[in-house]
Amino acid sequence: MATVSFKKASLTYPGAAEPTVKEFDLEIADGEFLVLVGPSGCGKSTTLRMLAGLEQVTSGNIYIGDKDVTNVAPRDRDIAMVFQNYALYPHMTVRDNMGFALKIAGKSKEEINARVDEAAKTLGLTEFLERKPKALSGGQRQRVAMGRAIVRNPQVFLMDEPLSNLDAKLRVQTRTQIAALQHKLGVTTVYVTHDQTEALTMGDRIAVLKDGYLQQVGSPRELYDRPDNVFVAGFIGSPAMNLGTFTVGADGVATSGEAHIKLSRETLDAMVPEDNNKITIGFRPEALQIIGEGESTEHSIPIQLDFVEELGSDSYLYGKLVGDGDLGSSAEDVAESGQIVVRSAPNTAPAPGSVFHARIVEGGQHNFSASTGRRLP
C-alpha cells in the first residue's frame, strides 16, 4: 500500500493551446478511496492516465509512496487498472483471465491458483471460475475485471468509470460492493466518474475538476454542505442546488423577481466593488420550508408550481420564480433551467399552477461572490 502525490502536475497535448490538466496538486493518503469527478472533458481521466503512466506529464511530478514515478514506465509503477471496458479475453475462462497477469509475471501455478481462489471468494465468483466471459452478466464481468486487478496485490488501484456499462439498478448494487471491497482490502484507490451520485456514495474524499483545474477536495459531506464556489455547489447534489443572481439593496436584502432574501452583516462586508451590488445565492431543495397560509411571507421566495414528483418517502416540487428574476436549479450555470426544486413531505404539495411561498431554513443558505464565484460567509 502507498500514498499518492501530485506535485503541480500538468499535461499539454501537442498542438494544444491550453493544458488539459493544469498544476494538479493533491495528496492521497495510504488506503484512501479518492474519487475524481467532473463533467465530460474536465481532465479527470487524463489525470488518472498520468498516474498510470499512460500519458506523459509535461511539468510537475507524481509520487507513489516515496518514489518519483513521473518518468517511470507503467509496468514498473505497481498499479492495477479497471476500465469502463472489461477487456476480458473471450477465449479464456474466468480463472485464466484473473490469473493472466501473474502468469506473464512468471508466478508458479500453485501461487496463481491460490491468489485467484482467494480473490474469487472475496468477489463471489468461485462458482464461475470455469466459465468464459460470454456466459456472465455485465456485473459479473466487471467483478472479474476487478479480480484480475486484485490478484496482483498492487500498491494502487485505478478505476476509470468502471460502472458506465451497467444498467441503473446494477450500477447501484455494484458501487456498494466496490466501496465495501476497497475498505476491506485497504488499497489506495483513485476512482474516476462523471456521476456525482457515485462520488458522494463511494469516496472517502472527492476531488472536483473543471476545465483541468482542481476546484475543491474534501469529504462528501464537506462538499455538499460547504461548496467552495458556484460550480461545485451546482455540480454536487441531486437534484441540483437552486442558484440565482440577486441584487443587493441598501437595506441588506437581496432581491430577484419577487424573491427577497435577508443577508447577514458578514456577507455584506465580504462583498467587493467588482460584485456591482450583485450576489449569487444558492439553497438545496431540502433547505426550503413551505410557508403555511396566514404566516408572514417576509424574506421569502414565491414559486409558481408546475408539477410534483411523488417518490413515496419524499415529494419534489418543480416550479419557477414569480416575477422577472434569475433563479433556478442548474448543474453548471446559474439559472440555466429557470426551474426551482423544493423537497417536501409526501402528499402535501399545493395544486399545480398555484403560487406558494418558501423560506430558506437556518444554515441552508449559500452565498457566492458574483464577480469571482467564490464562497462568501
Residue-level pLDDT, tens digit, the chain, 377 residues: 799 999 999 999 998 889 999 999 999 999 999 999 999 999 999 999 999 999 999 999 999 999 999 999 998 999 999 887 778 899 999 999 999 989 988 899 999 999 999 889 888 899 999 999 999 988 888 889 888 888 988 999 999 988 887 788 888 888 888 888 888 889 999 999 998 889 999 999 999 999 999 999 999 999 999 999 999 999 999 888 999 999 999 999 999 999 999 999 999 999 999 999 999 999 999 999 999 888 888 999 999 999 999 988 889 999 999 987 777 655 444 444 578 999 999 888 888 899 999 999 999 999 999 999 999 99
Q: What are the two backbone dihedrals, phi and then psi, of residue 341, each rounded to the nearest 5 degrees?
A: -115, 130
Total residues found in the chain within this entry: 377
Q: Which domains does the chain have, with CATH numbers?
A: 4-234 (3.40.50.300), 237-376 (2.40.50.140)
Q: How far apart are CA 344 and CA 311, in angstroms?
A: 11
CB 161 within 8 A of CB 81: no
CB 333 within 8 A of CB 243: no
Grid coordinates belonging to 54? 499512460
CA distances from 375 to 32, 80, 282, 287, 372 (A): 27, 38, 10, 18, 9
In our burial notation (b when 16+ CB lie closer than 10 A, e otherwise), range 67-94 reads eebbeeeeeebbbbbbebebebeeeebb
Grid coordinates belonging to 51? 498516474
Cis, peptide link before residue 239, omega less than 30° from 0: yes
CA angle 333, 335, 336 (to 5 degrees): 60
CA distances from 309 to 177, 239, 304 (A): 30, 12, 15
- Three-state SS at 283: strand
User: Nearest Cα to 255, choosing from 290, 225, 299, 297?
Assistant: 299
CB 328 within 8 A of CB 338: yes
Q: Which amino acid, residue 195?
A: D
The whole-number pLDDT of residue 329 equals: 59
The strand pairing partners of 193, in sequence order, are 37
Grid coordinates belonging to 284? 438545496
